[in-house]
Chains A and B, each alone.
Chain A
């Protein structure tokens, strides 16, 4: 790709690729481990709910190379119970000991930590720690977890109801009861997780006494640093968090986990390097899970399919503990607030609750509640279509907010500043020849032994949430802003520091495109630094489709300030007015006289007092500016996904035959990278819709804590995606960017479900749950055929 301005909008190849392709990316377990490093191993509870009666560490301590074995009481001397301080009516905060004391509340919760001289020894020592448990009955399932006789997860939380909230518009009851038609449905979403290919891990290096350099495979270095300081009572200025290369995060690594506190605290305590690398079983057992949701929905509509009112009763599984920093309300309030999507729904009521259970804690997995709330609303749109014998696309188009009516403030107060709901759907229909497929589709959907169907998901995608957005959801300690620090060095080269941390998104490339354009210099001259709290300014970090909006906005603002200063210096030297100075391609010149100019190096040398020019009177030395960007409530992207697939009539296997996406994330920074985000998200959504599910039995045992049993999609499960973009630049954000990190996943889940439902429409099979595994579908098909005979 040739480098021409503007760089924004170009599919620039990634700077990250060369070192990653050579195997030279330094992931957490690739960092040099100093001599004398202590290696931790966690002893995990085999019970979902039990009292810890006794822990005998002596057999483990007898093993050569085991330094010590510590329990929850030991760690409590170093780390306070961690608590997500959500301020929201109906929320019950509760603490979590980083290693369980007295009681365990899910299978995989740590009850002891072994401190050893090697990772292999840690595995030996774990086996030798003898823990006596008194098992207790478990609340292992979401259904019934708030029943009066259900086992209680926390004594302080009645009926396991960690959070409860509701909302009603003033005219809801009248609108609902006055409608001609009502459809009711329960949508059940299976529990899944991010499952990044690289498990988590951390390495803590004490230096200069009680200073700590803390490497962690995390998405949130600044939030982690603040949390470590607060819960360890250690001065924040003596902690430096560095993020190495991260092998995928997907929100999983946006939580701050008990192991991170344990590693940091023990490094400070022992004054020695301490390291812990998670294995896959631990990852599946203890990293956040998500999407264990029930949506009981009622939708009221008229003869034309126009929605009159929507009511939702939403229950989400919080797991055993609220996690840092989001607590457990993100999925609950997210689903409740986002479900109206691109539709003109003005009468709306919800009740929503998060229930504690004796299962792994839930958290922020890519898409958060949006794959499930759109599973619900998009499933309802299809049901309206079937009820009224209308085309599903037509029902959507009749209910969508048209572009001409934007900006639009939705029923829960979220502003859609720009967008393309109608246009995205129409273009996706063209891409996949929706009308052609419909015309040739037989009523029984059966073609060559397979049921063939097509499914739509039209949706909004929350991105770039600012502080008002987090406050609206009770997350008072989550900032919302991000920041950028742009420095033009004495040689004219540019270093831009940003408060983000990448896990595959290509920030070194995309942020350099943004800074080069904003500053008026060459892409090749810009270097991006991120993921290190000692060098980068504070921010909210990298999750919830934030980077382009918040990091991009902050860098543009900081770069603009630097450029203004360079303009003043250049104007002074060139004896021109500030406004007559043009800055482009790494030079400042007088407008209309390109040869009368200065290079960035000449301006920078002036700023750093390295030549014979003088600065304008009152101008400070240096060429370095910091700025912040806190976007509005949220920045709303949108998209349409359409999937065409077949269901094998005998074995129930689903094959995706065609897949079209039209996405609108406003101004595109790098279309190649945006496409990659959509491909990857959609593949995860296909996994979630068709195969992925964590299965707990009634005793709270996770039945599939290996990658042999928790199925991830392979290259044979995913099609070649057709992706196009519509660009409706945001008018509410700096730069016009909207996020794109989650849309792929959000759209794939409802689109695949609707396509399967369409394929099986001739059999009167109700598709209202996921995942749709082959055995489920083949049973449903067999049963339907038997009834039909």
Chain B
């Protein structure tokens, strides 16, 4: 064990600091030090995508980064997507299309979709599927997630 160090991140627009061992994973730091437990851990080796967050605007596996290594970074997690009253259009599309069952992988899919639709606001089905291969879902068979991403893209385009 080594000494804890202070780590500061901008998470969902707010500066947050906490102490952590240098070996602490970003996923564990977000979950257990900052209390942002909407980011889930499914494999701890970067395959399943459940822990996907945005790191300086790009999707990243929070189980593959040490918190100390991203000190000072801008992080977006699922907790930053909705307002108290309204779900984000991507979340709303997941709801309307029954694109989640157990909900464990969902945060990762939402963040992957958020980045993907910024890059490609009008994707076709093949592009959506390609983008979603970074995340595993064991419940939905992906059919309704693909539909939800298309619906979210349409809604976000309509809203400008």
Contacts and interface: CB of A to CB of B under 8 A. Distances in A.
B118 interface: no
Given A197-B104, A503-B102, A680-B138, A707 B47 contact: yes
Nearest to A245: B103
A120 B95 contact: no
Nearest to A248: B102
Contact of A197 (B31, B125, B138): B138
Contacts of B128: 715
A197 B141 contact: no
A383 to B, nearest CB: 29
A319 B95 CA distance: 41
Contacts of B36: 23
Q: A13, A124, A504, A744 — which one has the most chain B CB atoms within 10 A of its CB?
A: A504
B77 A23 contact: yes
Interface in B15-43: 21, 23-24, 31, 36-43
B48 to A, nearest CB: 6
Contact of B102 (A23, A247, A718): A247
A22 B78 contact: yes
B137 interface: yes
Interface in B75-111: 77-79, 81-82, 87, 91, 94-96, 98, 100-107, 110
A16 interface: yes
A246 B21 CA distance: 29
A533 B67 CA distance: 39
B142 A718 contact: yes
Contact of B87 (A21, A29, A197): A21
A246 B102 CA distance: 7
Contacts of A716: 129-130, 133
B44 to A, nearest CB: 6
A675 B99 CA distance: 11
Contacts of A714: 132-133, 136, 142
Nearest to A283: B43
B120 interface: no
A248 B138 contact: yes
A720 B133 contact: no
Contact of A65 (B1, B50, B87, B100): B1
Interface in A694-736: 706-708, 712, 714-716, 718-721
B120 to A, nearest CB: 15
Contacts, number: 175
Contacts of B82: 21-22
A506 B103 CA distance: 11
Contacts of A250: 138
Interface string A658-694: 0000000000000011011011111110000000000
Contact of A706 (B21, B45, B101, B142): B45
B139 interface: yes
A13 B96 contact: yes
A279 interface: yes
A80 interface: no
Contacts of A24: 38
Nearest to B131: A715
Determine the interface band of chain A, counting residues with CB < 8 A from chain B: 35 or more
A196 interface: yes
B130 A247 contact: no
Q: Which of under 10, 10 to 19, 20 to 34, or 35 or more describes the interface residues of B?
A: 35 or more
Contacts of B21: 120
A679 B140 contact: yes
A20 interface: yes
B68 interface: no
A546 B79 CA distance: 34
A764 interface: no
Contacts of B81: 22
Contacts of B50: 197
B144 interface: yes
B145 A715 contact: yes
A708 B100 CA distance: 24
A504 B101 CA distance: 4
B42 A198 contact: yes
Contacts of B107: 23
A155 interface: no
A346 interface: no
B138 A195 contact: yes
A21 B113 CA distance: 13
Contacts of A505: 101
**Residue in A682, A683, A684 whose Cβ sees the most chain B Cβ within 10 Å:** A683
A29 B38 CA distance: 11
A524 to B, nearest CB: 17
B99 to A, nearest CB: 9
Of listed B129, B138, B140, residue having the most chain A CB within 10 A:
B138
Given A706-B47, A708-B47, A21 B94 contact: yes
A248 B130 CA distance: 24
Given A16-B103, A21-B82, A715-B132, A120 B139 contact: no
Q: Which of B81, B129, B139 has the most CB of A within 10 A?
A: B139
Contacts of B41: 29
A744 B143 CA distance: 13
Nearest to B42: A197
Contacts of B42: 197-199, 247, 280
B153 interface: no
A27 B45 CA distance: 20
A529 B39 CA distance: 26
Nearest to A195: B138
Contacts of B105: 197, 247
B141 A681 contact: yes
Nearest to B23: A120
Most chain A beta-carbon contacts within 10 A, residue among B41, B81, B125: B41
A293 to B, nearest CB: 22
A684 B143 contact: no
Given A22-B82, A708-B45, A672 B136 contact: no
A581 B139 CA distance: 44
Nearest to A506: B101
B146 interface: yes
Given A198-B40, A279-B44, A676 B23 contact: no
Given A21-B106, A706-B45, A14 B140 contact: no
Given A18-B87, A198-B102, 16 more contacts: A17-B100, A22-B81, A195-B138, A197-B40, A197-B42, A197-B48, A197-B50, A248-B104, A280-B42, A280-B45, A280-B48, A504-B103, A676-B144, A679-B141, A707-B48, A721-B141
The 5 A-B residue pairs with the shortest CB-CB distance, nearest first, are A23-B38, A247-B104, A504-B102, A20-B103, A683-B141
Interface of B: 1, 21, 23-24, 31, 36-45, 47-48, 50, 77-79, 81-82, 87, 91, 94-96, 98, 100-107, 110, 125, 128-130, 132-133, 135-146
11 contacts: A20-B103, A21-B95, A21-B110, A26-B37, A121-B1, A247-B104, A676-B139, A679-B142, A680-B141, A706-B43, A714-B136
